[in-house]
Structure 1
Amino acid sequence: MLQLDVLLEQSYSEMVEIRRYLHQHPELSFQEVETPKYIANYHRELGHEVREGVGERGVVATLKGAKPGPKVALRADFDALPIQDEKDIPYRSTVPGVMHACGHDGHTAELLVLAKALNTIKDELAGTIVFIHQHAEEYAPGGAIAMIEDGCLEGVDVIFGTHLWATEATGKIQYNTGPLMAAADRFEITVHGKGGHGAQPHYTKDSILIGSQIVQSLQHVVSRRVDPQESAVLSIGHFEAKNAFNVIADSAKMIGTVRTFSEEVQNNIIEDMEEIIKGVASSYGAKADFSYYKGYPALINHQQEGELIKKVALDTPGITEVEFAKPQMGGEDFAYYLNHVKGAFFFTGAKRADITDPYPHHHPKFDFDEKAMLLAAKMLGRLTLEYVGERS
């Protein structure tokens, strides 16, 4: 363990260099071309077995230890977001309207350098390590499900992953032994009314009024139809009915999201939404279309692997706080991996010490403490060694 820590510390400057290069050259979900090439070339230079185009754009590299043992997978995502980088820094994005605003550049850098460190001690390693570099985490259906279908988990016994968390202090690890992140769904509602002159509303079926009533009524789904001991969120993020100021709109469109942990709650919400939407529209003599798209499932850690994260974190130099993480309502397609093999996901604090109120993830000025990458790499490396040590 100490040897691995030393190797990672010696390569920290390379980790920062990789992260900043990727930050300057971001690529959007399902449009990644140069990033997977960069990743594949790095692993090839280490002598790893490499598969490109996994699930279309993912990369899977394999390192075989000298001794028999289990097969451990480590995952990092590498896609960026359609956001203009507004940071005044030397390594800001060079691609207009695209930036790494969620830490995926850091995830990739830490896994690459960890792969290099583990390769250095491969003659002492037991088992096989699979480095899963995933495309398109940010945009459903995501890259995980396609990579799994393409065999990235073949023979894998366990998988671990982490997310740099820029709103939590560097040195903090947040773990969980059950539900950690919610299922993230999307829905669309289109109200078909009857437009007309704004001065003659009695001749119309006002789609904006009907849509507003639907929005109001949907707020009762979680507050009055979901068990208070269950977690759920229903939010409308888009309401559009373009028209002149003196024209009553013929139609109105709403788009929103639902977040749940329980499949039963999720299905009940869908049924309740459909009943409310159709009922409200019908009461005004109008019609409404309702489309619901299930996104990533809930991310639920396996208990033993979640407890292993806690054990390793408590013994890792540089980790100053280990905290049980409350479930987050954000989504993460790492959930798909955990539906196929045992494993766990955790958060690595990455708040910059020079910023009192850090910008949140997906913000144009998002950034993180690069020292957190070293801690994340140590955690993933130590989890790997601990797991194979217990089972070899």
Structure 2
Amino acid sequence: MVSTPLSPDAVARASIRPEIRALQSDLVAWRRRLHQYPELGFREHLTAAFVRQRLEEWGIDRETEVAGTGIVATVRGAAPGPVLAIRADMDALPILEENEVSYRSKHDGKMHACGHDGHTAIALATAYYLSQHPHTFQGTVKIIFQPAEEGPGGAAPMIAEGVLQNPKVDAIIGLHLWNNLPLGTVGVCSGPMMAAVELFDCEIQGKGGHGAIPQQTIDSIVVASQIVTALQAIVARNVNPLDAAVVTVGSFHAGRTHNVIADTAEISGTVRYFNPELAALIPQRVEQIIAGICQSHGASYKLDYRKLYPAVINDGAIAALVRSVAETVVDSPAGVVPDCQTMGGEDMSYFLQQVPGCYFFLGSANAALGLAYPHHHPRFDFDETALGMGVELFVRCVEKFCSV
């Protein structure tokens, strides 16, 4: 299904309460401040200090230095009740920004090219609003400001340090500003939403020699080339056609000149899939293919296969709650996109393995303003109108899950 983007007037009429509309200028200021000082995973010291200072000003309970630079804010409602967690990531990417804007990155070679500055601003405003309106919900909201989503992964260390306990979290939600959807849309689905992420590096050891005397060699380039081609058969012939999966070789290095057969070749790639049942099959087939082709040529290999993040799998009931809320905020069923899966990965998956929850996309692209570059592009930016919509979505999810 392709969603029909809402018109600018429809976006302006989106059901955002006056108190949250009044926070828009602060949201933009916070986001732009964070954008100017991007920091990589587990080094988000300035970002964490900014978050901590705001929480202190507002008198919100907080735990700092969780898994290094993480912060957990706790906001309590009018009475005891369920515990809902909201997760926002804080880290940036090692990218040199090309945008010519007043809030351009001041840290050369580092950039918020994925919207995490916006996520942090939305989570801050949500914490502020809830702290000012505790009578609108019962129970507890834990807002998790997470480091290192882009790598090496901050969710698992935060879980290990107990962020889902004391009090025990009953459900969790999170959003991702998404330039693959236009402003005024929300992408939410139940079940698998984002893929598991795995990486592999393989060195093929052959026997080098003269390009004119190949019978004296074991050509590592020929061996590696056959491996690259054969790996595609995993998805084509080993994976159920009803399951989505990707095996991509993104790097191939071998040889230095015209007339020398290379003794070694190196290939690197990534594997993506939704179905957890493929977690054992695909790495097994990758190594079987590499081993078989190497053996047939008399070559040897070294394989390093690494699992990064499991698939993001949304709970059906929490996804239904988010969907029902989204339909009231964008005020049009056409603005809610159910077919929003992507082979991109996210370590929100670790939280969703522990408690039921939902991760969803908030459309943030505005092509008319030139704000439609893809994520991780050096000119990535988004329509900041989405910030207030994100706060409204979070607040309504809290009010519905923790209803008075």
Q: Quickly name the TM-score band, shorter chain normalised.
A: over 0.9
1:160 CA displacement: 0.6
Percent of paired sites with the same residue: 43
* Counterpart secondary structure, 1:115: helix
How far apart in 2 are the matches of 1:29 and 1:223? 36
Shift of 1:362: 0.5
Distance 1:139 1:358 in 2: 24
Q: Please report how far the alpha carbon of residue 323 of structure 1 lies from its aligned counterpart in structure 2 after TM superposition.
A: 1.7
Matching residue of 1:165: 178
Q: Would you say 1:286 and 2:320 are equivalent positions?
A: no
The residue number in structure 1 matching 2:91 is: 79
**Residue 159 (structure 2) pairs with residue 148 (structure 1):** yes
Deviations 1:262-295 (A, max 9, x none): 2222311111111110111111111112221111
In structure 2, the partner of 1:269 is 282
Matched residue, 1:182: 195
**Letter of the 1:48 counterpart:** I
Q: Quote the RMSD (CA, aligned, Å).
A: 1.8
Give the aligned residue type for 1:117.
Y
Where does residue 228 of structure 2 map in the other structure?
215
Whether 1:256 aligns to 2:275 is: no
Q: How does 1:33-44 map to 2 (within 5 A)?
A: 33-44=45-56
- Of 142-151 and 203-212, more deviation after overlay is shown by 203-212
Greater alpha carbon shift after TM alignment, 236-245 vs 41-50: 236-245
Aligned-pair CA distance for 1:225: 1.4
d(CA) in 2 for partners of 1:125 and 1:301?
Answer: 24
Distance 2:163 2:26 in 1: 27
Tell me the residue number matched to 2:63: 51
CA deviation vs aligned residue, 1:199-232 (integer Å, no higher than 9, x gap): 3322221111111111011111111111111111
Residue in structure 2 matching 1:352, options 366, 388, 394: 366
Q: 2:114 aligns with which of 97, 102, 107?
A: 102
Instruction: Measure the CA separation in 2 of the matches of 1:347 and 1:317.
Output: 13
SS in 2 for 1:29: coil
User: What is the distance in 1 between the residues matched to 2:307 and 2:339?
Assistant: 25
Q: 2:379 aligns with which of 360, 365, 368?
A: 365
How does the TM-score come out when normalised to structure 2?
A: 0.92
Preserved contact between residue 85 and residue 99 of structure 1 (Cα < 8 Å) = yes
Secondary structure, aligned partner of 1:315: helix
Distance in 2 (CA, whole Å) between partners of 1:325 and 1:147 is 30
1:124-148: CA deviation from partner (whole Å, max 9, x where unpaired): 43111111000000113x0001001
Deviation at 1:34, TM superposition (A): 1.3
Corresponding position of 1:380: 394
Cα distance in structure 1, aligned partners of 2:240 and 2:357 = 29
Task: Give the match for residue 207 of structure 2.
Answer: 194
Amino acid paired to 2:396: R
TM-score by length of 1: 0.95
Letter in 2 for 1:148: I
The letter of the residue matching 1:312 is V
Q: CA deviation at 1:164?
A: 0.4
How big is each residue's C-alpha offset from its partner over 1:83-137, in whole Å with a ceiling of 9 and x where there is no partner? Answer: 1101111111111111011000000011101111111112443111111000000
Name the CA shift for 1:357/1:116 in 2 (closer, same or farther; >3 Å).
closer
Counterpart of 1:126, as a letter, is Q
1:14-38 residue CA offsets vs partner (Å, 9 max, x unmatched): 1000111111100011222211111
Q: Alignment partner of 1:211: what SS?
A: helix
> What does the per-residue CA deviation read over 1:162-194, in whole Å, with 9 as the maximum and x for residues that have no partner?
000112111101111111111011111110111
Of 108, 120, 138 in structure 1, the residue corresponding to residue 150 of structure 2 is 138
Cα distance change on mapping 1:22 and 1:356 into 2, 3 Å: closer
- The residue that corresponds to 2:243 in the other structure is 230
Q: Equivalents in 1 of 2:51, 2:398: separation in Å?
A: 21
Q: Deviations over 1:235-269 (max 9, x none)?
A: 01111125234322221111111111222223111
Question: Which residues of structure 1 form unaligned runs of 5+?
Answer: none
Runs of 5+ unmatched residues, structure 2: 1-13
Alignment correspondent of 1:22: 34
Q: Give the corresponding residue for 2:351.
A: 337
Secondary structure of 2:307's aligned partner: strand
Query: Which one of the candidate residues 48, 58, 73 is aligned to 1:61?
Result: 73
CA contact (8 A) 2:85 2:171 kept: yes
Q: What is the distance in 1 between the residues matched to 2:15 and 2:402?
A: 16
1:48-98 CA-to-partner distances (Å, cap 9, x unmatched) read: 111111122211111122311111111100100011101111111111111
Aligned pairs for 1:307-318 (under 5 A) are 307-316=320-329
| Cα distance, 1:318 vs structure 2 | 6.0
Instruction: State the SS of the aligned residue for 1:240.
Output: strand
Contact 1:189 1:289 in 2 (8 A): yes
Are the counterparts in 2 of residues 260 and 329 from structure 1 also a CA contact under 8 Å? yes
Supply the AA of the counterpart residue of 1:193: G
Equivalents in 2 of 1:353, 1:272: separation in Å? Answer: 42
Letter in 2 for 1:205: I
How far 1:46 sits from its partner (Å)? 1.1
- CA distance in structure 2 between the aligned counterparts of 1:272 and 1:117, rounded to whole angstroms: 51
